[in-house]
Amino acid sequence: MKRSLFFPSLLVLSSAGFADYSFDLRTEVEQIENINRSATDPTDDTRVSYGGNLVVSDSGANSSVDLTYDMERAEYLDDTFDTRTQTQGTGSLWVFNSNRTLNAFVENTLTETAIDVFSPEAGDNLNRISTTSAGVVARARLSGRDWLSLNGTKFWVRSEDQLSDSESEMAELSWVRQISSRSTFGLKGSHTNTIPGTPDTDDFATQRWAATATRRLRTGNLLVEYGQAYSDAEHYDGGDVGEFDEYRLTLSTGIGNGNFTFDGGRELVSSGMGQMGGSSFTPSGQSQFELNLRDYYQARLGFPLVPKRIDFSLYGELSDNDNQLSPNFSYIKSAGAAMNFVLRTGTISLDAARIDREEGDGITDVREQSELRYSIYYGSDIGENINWRCGFVRTDFGEDVVQKSVLCGLNVSVF
């Protein structure tokens, strides 16, 4: 039985006051040709959606709260898919003493994932995963440049179908040295016990260590991390899952008049943990508990062609999940280009992207799909707090499967 997973955000909202916030309401009507993505029996339908977005950010002397949640309810007039409310976002609440040597926190992430990435991202094909963590962080200054931190955290992962549920407990010890006014170096080690919510998967432990270096650049920031993880979970081929290298690189920097951002790496993580996927596609979902060796990369390069009038960007993403508890894997990559034209009467947005998907057990059951997506939108403001947009989207799935949609929507900024 499915259940609501929105309660963590309400907990965050009720836990602290806030000063900086925004709340938007929106509605949209979309006429979709071949909504079922069929080459032989295409079906058309009208999708009506309405929802809102809440953003809160505030920091005081002894607390901070940051949250961004988005809720949308979609209905299909011809009942092609079930009515569904989608909720996504992140929230965090921290409380601490005056010098921040003792900290307590609650954090939450809600993600909508497609169970079958080859089917429409709607109705029963979506599975909401909620990851909530709560813990205490104690910090001690060893010298003028050295800090030692001890972190104890409890994680709860809950999914609508209850098949990806788990609970974990983690203890982490870390040391950080301020090398210069711009650079830091640190070491950390952790031990995590995980209890999967499915009876056919045994409890397991994971140990990891990592070295991390950060550098504040003239026009951005750089983080480099390398380490190893070991898990005693039972591999599907027998024996322990064993040891893997883990690494991460994040970079944000200005390039001339433009900017470049990159975030990528490798991690060994269970369902609902770690990097949750990209933004230009719905991340691959799960209908079972998984322990994935995950490679992920996201990059974007943007620059103005005409300052304040025309801007252009290139982007790419990759998510490669190799399950260690079964031979299943999922692989999704995308690359695209976008251009925005700022006119006196409004804004025109163009986007073209290619998305490649592959999923299976790597032996007998492997599915592949390439998708080409083109879109054009035009929108403008109506007064100070209201704006509208209309657009056209064409998606080619190959094998003579083409989907087209025309849509118009309205957004109202309440506060």
The whole-angstrom separation of Cα 224 and Cα 214 is 6
User: Per the structure, how many domains does the chain have?
Assistant: 1
| 289-319 residue pLDDT tens | 889 999 999 999 999 999 999 999 999 999 8
Q: Which domain holds residue 217?
A: 98-107+114-405
The alpha carbon of 192 is separated from its chain's Cα centroid by a whole number of angstroms, namely: 22
Predicted local distance difference test score (pLDDT) of residue 126: 86
Please indicate, yes or no, if residue 17 is contained in any of the structural domains: no
Please indicate, yes or no, if residue 68 is contained in any of the structural domains: no
| 154-170 residue pLDDT tens | 999 998 888 889 999 99
Answer yes or no: are the C-beta atoms of 260 and 300 closer than 8 Å.
yes
Predicted local distance difference test score (pLDDT) of residue 286: 58
Please indicate, yes or no, if residue 241 is contained in any of the structural domains: yes
Please indicate, yes or no, if residue 195 is contained in any of the structural domains: yes
Please indicate, yes or no, if residue 55 is contained in any of the structural domains: no
Strands (E), 179-287: 183-196, 204-216, 221-234, 240-255, 258-270
Tokens for 116, please give them.
Answer: 């079958």
Predicted local distance difference test score (pLDDT) of residue 285: 56
Please indicate, yes or no, if residue 41 is contained in any of the structural domains: no
Please indicate, yes or no, if residue 87 is contained in any of the structural domains: no
Predicted local distance difference test score (pLDDT) of residue 32: 97
pLDDT lower than 70: segments of the chain: 1-19, 275-287, 362
The whole-angstrom separation of Cα 146 and Cα 185 is 10
Please indicate, yes or no, if residue 90 is contained in any of the structural domains: no
